[in-house]
Amino acid sequence: MVMKNLMFYCVINMETFIFCFAGEYISSKSREIGEAAYNSPWYQSKFHSRMILFMIMRSQHQLTITMGKFMDLSLERFSTITKASASYMSVLLAMY
């Protein structure tokens, strides 16, 4: 019974890590798009400068994956979730 629960705990943590890693990846790539657009010579081009300016403005608001629209998923959030779930698990095992 304990092995079955331990396996379930590991699988749920792995799934949480995948979602949190995807959120972290999207956030970092979103930041990189804005930096790349800003570092390009957008001020020298007449035609494309407006499109690049819109890209720079849009990239100031970071893309994130949220959990229920109240929590951003990131690796920092994964560590918080893992610490909380480990403490809950230890309390449940102590009661069992």
Q: What is the pLDDT of residues 14-66, one digit of tens each?
A: 999 999 999 999 999 999 988 888 888 877 877 777 788 888 888 888 888 88
CA distance linking residue 72 with residue 82, whole number of Å: 15
Is the pLDDT confidence value at 89 over 90? no
For the record, the structure tokens of 56 come out as 């720079």
Q: How far apart are the first and last CA of the chain?
A: 12
Is the pLDDT confidence value at 92 over 90? no
* pLDDT at site 20: 95
* pLDDT at site 91: 93
* pLDDT at site 83: 95
